[in-house]
Amino acid sequence: MYRQILVPLDGSRSAEAALPVAAYLAGRLGAAITLFHALERDAPDQVHGERHLTTVAEAEVYLAQAEERWLGAGESTTARHVHEAGIGDVAGCIVDHGRELGADLIVMCTHGRSGPRHWVWGSLAQQVLARDGAHVLLLRPPASPAEAKYELRHVLVPLDGAAMHEEGLWAAAELAKPCAADLRLLSVVPTRSSLSGDQAAAGKLLPSAMKEILDVAEQSAADYLADLSKALEARGLPTSREVRRGDPAEEIAESAQSRPVDLIALATHARAGIEAFWTRSVGPRVSARTRTPLLLVPVRDTHPEKGNLTSPAGV
């Protein structure tokens, strides 16, 4: 599934946090890596406290040095590309080159000026995700040198029972299998206090009925994860499963912290309904609560309402 990895770099050392992760995954997947830099039109003097690259020559030198630092110079599976024409739409440029190169995974370090919520959803990375069908793996700059090392051993996959959100599961499986990682399946069922909108109003008017509905939803979620786990283990993928009650973003982050994982795989399409907690607010709220890398997987609208336990060939 993942054969071409694109790593956009802005010239800063913090952006290079994406490189050890890309290198690790490329080695396990047998994928090629392209390091990419786009020269910006009317760029600021500095980017994240470092001098902004302004010429093709210095951008090419920078990419070569970054490759040598993190990937090893002369690797046949690594390519470098500098977009020469000064551009104003960096996200569009990344998307265009990703399509041209056939990139199916874009690995980016997220850093922004607007606070943690905007590191994902209000950032360049989210613009890329919104415009392209490629999967986007987002990381934060490491807090310590030890964080720069990467190994994929445990993947957390939140699911809500909708087949379209199984896209995140099968993407996680594509990464987990060659890395010998396990999959941790998670479903979050609301409590009455964590409901919102019409559901919250209904819960206040009919608390006993709502409690019963949520209890049934919890059992249904447990049964759904059990079925998925059985299908995955038949394919040689070790799994565990957990059902939590509460606010989805809070519970996803808490689960990742209580049993540390190396990646959270999130499908990225909003759905309505009591069992489909996948609202657009979940992703950025998870990113604000954890430093765990996020694999964001755009979902298609061609699936049936309920999970069908099918997966792409090869998983």
pLDDT in tens, 189-230: 887 666 666 565 555 555 676 678 888 889 999 999 999 999
How confident is the model at residue 301, as a pLDDT?
57
Place of tokens 């059985």: 230
Which two three-digit tokens encode residue 172?
């996680």
How confident is the model at residue 223, as a pLDDT?
96
List the chain domain ranges: 4-148, 154-297
Cα–Cα distance for residue pair 92/126, rounded to 1 Å: 11
Local confidence band at 277 (pLDDT 50, 70, 90 cut-offs): very low
Cα–Cα distance for residue pair 226/239, rounded to 1 Å: 10
94 Rama class: left (phi>0) / alpha (psi -120 to 50) / beta: alpha
pLDDT tens string 41-61: 766 655 555 666 778 888 899
- Is the per-residue pLDDT at 258 higher than 80? yes
Cα–Cα distance for residue pair 20/311, rounded to 1 Å: 29
Q: Could you name the CATH architecture of 154-297?
A: 3-Layer(aba) Sandwich (3.40)
The reply to whether 4-148 and 154-297 are identical in fold is yes
Has domain 4-148 been given CATH number 3.40.50.620? yes
Which two three-digit tokens encode residue 90?
């960096």
Q: What are the distances in angstroms from CA 133 to CA 99, 130, 198?
A: 9, 8, 33
Nearest to 186 by CA among 232, 211, 221: 221
> Is 223:187 a contact under the CB 8 Å cutoff?
no
How confident is the model at residue 34, as a pLDDT?
93
Does 188 or 302 have the greater pLDDT score? Answer: 188
Average pLDDT, whole number, for the chain? Answer: 78
Summarize the confidence of residues 250-267 as an average pLDDT: 94
Among 45-59, 90-104, 198-212, 279-293, the range scoring the smallest mean pLDDT is 198-212
Helix, strand, coil tally for the chain in percent (to 5): 40, 20, 35
Burial class (CB in 10 A: 0-12, 13-18, 19+), 230: exposed
Strand partners, 137: 107, 295
How confident is the model at residue 229, as a pLDDT?
96
Among 79-93, 115-129, 199-213, 256-270, the range scoring the smallest mean pLDDT is 115-129
Report the share of the chain in percent with pLDDT over 70: 70
How confident is the model at residue 114, as a pLDDT?
40
pTM for this entry: 0.83
- Is the per-residue pLDDT at 244 higher than 90? yes
Local confidence band at 106 (pLDDT 50, 70, 90 cut-offs): very high
- Is the per-residue pLDDT at 286 higher than 50? yes
236 Rama class: left (phi>0) / alpha (psi -120 to 50) / beta: left
Summarize the confidence of residues 262-281 as an average pLDDT: 59
Work out the number of other CB atoms within 10 angstroms of the CB of residue 177.
18
Does 163 or 126 have the greater pLDDT score? Answer: 163
Nearest to 6 by CA among 14, 17, 26: 26
